[in-house]
């Protein structure tokens, strides 16, 4: 039975904790949940009644730093879900490093550490024989990392092109179908909780660029950093530009591209008939493989769907550990 | 080094043989290729110069039945690529059974045996500890079987909906965009080699039904047969019907569906904005998962792309055998 700890008790952390406490993945026992307020730990496994709406309302809360759970040999599997920090990746980066140093497997949805320190973290995992899985960092629950690595390992990936940000795609879709201005579509998205109060990272293309770096590094061994990406956001896109595209059977989408010319994010004209031309908050990624050629995969790139990616990665760790314990 | 034999030396067989002879998958040695005319076998491995355009033009041809290659302990991995026969699955079914009985792993693109005898073959493989991989039977190189089994194993698949036949999709797309009649679009498709001279299996929805049975059995344990599928083809679809759909932002597509109400194939109205609404010879499948919800995957469902699925399955066998030989 793998002892699992979740650090980060927000939207994803709470839902995942409930599912694991209810036995969603066989072979996994949830022993701890942590946030910046402290942690709850129960060696015999946390049950649904042990999980509060907010950690600080639990009488079992220890007001100590989460790293105690990693440091003291209390866990085999860390699920790191603290918020993405694109400056230095903290506190997630420290949590993940510490876990890997201790030979603890890590599953994460935290883009910061993976975008900023992919090569370093993978080397560390290799050294200590631990696993670092991060399907949930890009495209929510859409399998992108595992799709290439587990289903298409014998083919060669030549390029990646995708709509990787649901917020900007929602805004552009509303501008296309409802002929709204960007300002109005943004305000609507904020009211619906699709856009954040400060939408800069989405609108300026930074979020798309982070995800593109993660895809390029983990699928194409690109060794790229955020500063290697040429980035142009959607703030300059006018209703008139979209209306003109529409007249020619096209629209404008924020596209991230990784190919032999490097990594770039920019608004692009896309044919309405193109498989990648999805609307609303959907994400879509087209891979170009040497033999298969073009493969496109589409789904919700955020929210509840991300839980699926976390569960699948946790399942993969359980399977790999069961296999290695048999040998 | 796994000794590999290919039975079936048509479009796929020839291309795959060349790739394997050139070393496309590490750990695999192509030792034999066979057709109904006989076989070529070379214990030390066939090279590119050993592979003729047609088997009967090779001086090394042994005019003996292909099953000798399976029967005499000359192979570890059979790639079965004889033509699909929907009546009794032969000769592919006998080849695959014999191989599995001998503990030989099998990779196949042959829909007949998999659609007709999935449960029986899988039981046999289980008994003898052999592997039977058949990604190439549905959707060409699009990962569908492995996508669910390797990337989404912890989520629950609730239903499948898809465009699984490129020929009918080409015809319906031409009717939609060029306002052609079905007869004209069919003739064009035949001229381009997209439709066969006798297009019955495609037009009547049988090919889609076969693939649907394979998906439902291998991804949902449905235990279904071809006779369990309610099938309606596209021969009744008129230009007028498509024009009317078009006026409402829709079109007509031949859709295979597997859900709690069973399996069915029929022409359906589909929104032009729906991710599944792809055109030309493309295939598209939408899976509905319990947590992830809707995931759509799109690609070329036939031809060259199928080679990718065969290589990936062969790679998977090599990986699994390398792993089990270490234990």
> A106 pLDDT exceeds 80?
yes
* H/E run at residue B122: helix B111-128
Mean pLDDT along residues B225-252: 97
Question: Which pLDDT score, from 0 to 100, does residue A228 have?
Answer: 97
| A291·B282 Cβ contact <8 A | no
Residues A173, A315 within the same domain: no
**Backbone region of residue A103 per phi and psi (left: phi > 0; alpha: psi in -120 to 50; beta: other values):** left
Q: Which residues in chain B are closer than 8 Å to A271, comparing Cβ atoms?
A: none
Residues B125, B168 within the same domain: no
Q: Which range of residues forms the domain containing residue A160?
A: 146-300
List the single residue in B with minimal CA-CA distance to A16. B291
Alpha-helical (H) ranges within chain A are 11-21, 67-71, 92-101, 111-128, 145-146, 166-178, 182-191, 200-203, 206-220, 239-247, 305-326
Instruction: State both tokens at B164.
Output: 């699984």
List the single residue in A with minimal CA-CA distance to B152. A312
Question: Which pLDDT score, from 0 to 100, does residue A283 have?
Answer: 98
What is the tens place of the pLDDT at every residue in B57-71?
A: 999 999 999 999 999
> A326 pLDDT exceeds 80?
no
Mean pLDDT along residues A252-265: 98
- Helix and strand element counts for chain B (H, E): 11, 12
pLDDT tier for residue B323 given thresholds of 50, 70 and 90? confident
Residues A113, A163 within the same domain: no
Q: What is the CATH number of the domain that holds B91?
A: 3.40.50.720
Q: For chain A, how far is it from start to end, CA to CA, in angstroms?
A: 17
Query: In the predicted model, what is the mean pLDDT of chain B?
Result: 97
Name which of A25, A23, A19, A57 is nearest A40 in CA terms: A57
- Whether the predicted model's global pTM rises above the 0.95 cut: yes
Residues B198, B319 within the same domain: no
Gap between the Cα atoms of A45 and A180, Å rounded:
51
Tokens 């770096």 sit at which residue? Answer: A213
pLDDT tier for residue B325 given thresholds of 50, 70 and 90? confident
> A138 pLDDT exceeds 90?
yes
Residues A156, A237 within the same domain: yes
Would you give the DSSP letter of residue B149?
I
- Whether A113 and A214 have beta carbons less than 8 Å apart is answered as no
Q: What is the CATH number of the domain that holds B202?
A: 3.30.360.10
Residues 6+ apart with CB under 8 A from A248: none
By Cβ distance, the residue of B154, B272, B315 closest to A315 is B154
Mean pLDDT along residues A108-126: 97
> B78 pLDDT exceeds 80?
yes
What is the tens place of the pLDDT at every residue in A222-251?
A: 999 999 999 999 999 999 999 999 999 999
Residues B317, B288 within the same domain: no
Mean pLDDT along residues B291-297: 98
Gap between the Cα atoms of B137 and B115, Å rounded:
9
Residues B210, B282 within the same domain: yes
| B152·A273 Cβ contact <8 A | no
> B54 pLDDT exceeds 80?
yes
Q: Which residues in chain B are closer than 8 Å to A302, comparing Cβ atoms?
A: none
| B305·A291 Cβ contact <8 A | yes
Residues A11, A62 within the same domain: yes
Rounded to the nearest 10 degrees, the angle between the axes of helix A305-326 and helix A11-21 is: 50
Question: Which pLDDT score, from 0 to 100, does residue B18 have?
Answer: 98
Gap between the Cα atoms of B161 and B260, Å rounded:
12
> A275 pLDDT exceeds 80?
yes
Query: In the predicted model, what is the mean pLDDT of chain A?
Result: 97
Question: Which pLDDT score, from 0 to 100, does residue B327 have?
Answer: 58
Name which of A327, A315, A325, A302 is nearest A79 in CA terms: A315
Residues A121, A216 within the same domain: no
Does the active-site annotation cover A211?
Answer: yes
| B147·A151 Cβ contact <8 A | yes
How far is B174 from chain A, CA to nearest CA, in Å? 13
Catalytic residue among B14, B111, B211, B253: B211
Residues B13, B133 within the same domain: yes
Residues B284, B245 within the same domain: yes
Question: Which pLDDT score, from 0 to 100, does residue A24 have?
Answer: 96
Secondary-structure percent of chain A, ordered helix, strand, coil, rounded to 5: 40, 25, 35
Mean pLDDT along residues B199-222: 97
What is the tens place of the pLDDT at every residue in A196-210?
A: 999 999 999 999 999
Name which of B308, B317, B324 is nearest B99 in CA terms: B317
> B199 pLDDT exceeds 80?
yes
Would you give the DSSP letter of residue B84?
P
Residues 6+ apart with CB under 8 A from B8: B34, B35, B79, B80, B81, B82, B83, B92, B110
Gap between the Cα atoms of A238 and A242, Å rounded:
7
Mean pLDDT along residues B271-295: 97
**For chain A, what is the domain count?**
2
Mean pLDDT along residues B86-99: 97
> A327 pLDDT exceeds 70?
no
* Separation in Å, CA A130 to CA A77, A106, A127, A218: 10, 8, 8, 16
Instruction: State both tokens at B228.
Output: 């369990």
What is the tens place of the pLDDT at every residue in B122-149?
A: 999 999 999 999 999 999 999 999 999 9
In chain A, % of residues over pLDDT 90:
98
Residues B259, B321 within the same domain: no
List the single residue in A with minimal CA-CA distance to B145. A151
């Amino acid at each position: 039975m793998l002892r699992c700890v979740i650090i980060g008790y927000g939207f994803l952390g709470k839902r995942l904790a409930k599912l694991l406490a209810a036995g969603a993945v066989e072979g996994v026992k949830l022993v701890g949940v942590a946030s910046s307020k402290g942690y709850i730990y129960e060696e015999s496994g946390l049950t649904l009644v042990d999980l509060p709406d907010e950690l600080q309302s639990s009488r079992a809360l220890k007001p100590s730093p989460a790293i105690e759970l990693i440091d003291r040999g209390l866990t085999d599997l860390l699920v790191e879900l603290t918020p993405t920090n694109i400056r230095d990746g903290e506190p997630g980066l420290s949590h993940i490093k510490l876990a890997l140093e201790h030979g603890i497997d890590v599953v994460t949805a935290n883009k910061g550490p993976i975008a900023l320190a992919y090569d370093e973290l993978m080397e560390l995992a290799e050294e200590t024989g631990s696993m670092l899985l991060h399907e949930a960092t890009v495209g929510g629950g859409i399998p992108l990392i595992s799709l290439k690595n587990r289903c298409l390992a014998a083919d060669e990936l030549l390029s990646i092109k995708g709509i990787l940000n649901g917020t900007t795609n929602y805004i552009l879709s509303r501008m296309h179908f409802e002929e709204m201005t960007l300002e109005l579509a943004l305000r609507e998205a904020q009211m619906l909780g699709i856009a954040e109060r400060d939408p800069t990272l989405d609108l300026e293309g930074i979020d798309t660029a982070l995800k593109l770096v993660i895809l390029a590094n983990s699928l194409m061994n690109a060794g790229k950093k955020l500063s290697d990406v040429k980035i142009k956001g959607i703030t300059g896109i006018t209703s008139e530009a979209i209306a003109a595209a529409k007249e020619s059977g096209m629209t404008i989408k924020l596209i991230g591209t990784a190919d032999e010319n490097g990594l770039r994010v920019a608004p692009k004209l896309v044919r309405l008939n193109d498989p990648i031309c999805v609307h609303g908050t959907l994400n879509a990624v087209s891979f170009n493989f040497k033999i298969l050629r073009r493969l496109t995969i589409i789904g919700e790139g955020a929210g509840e769907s991300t839980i699926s990616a976390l569960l699948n990665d946790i399942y993969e760790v359980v399977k790999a550990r069961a296999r290695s314990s048999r040998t």
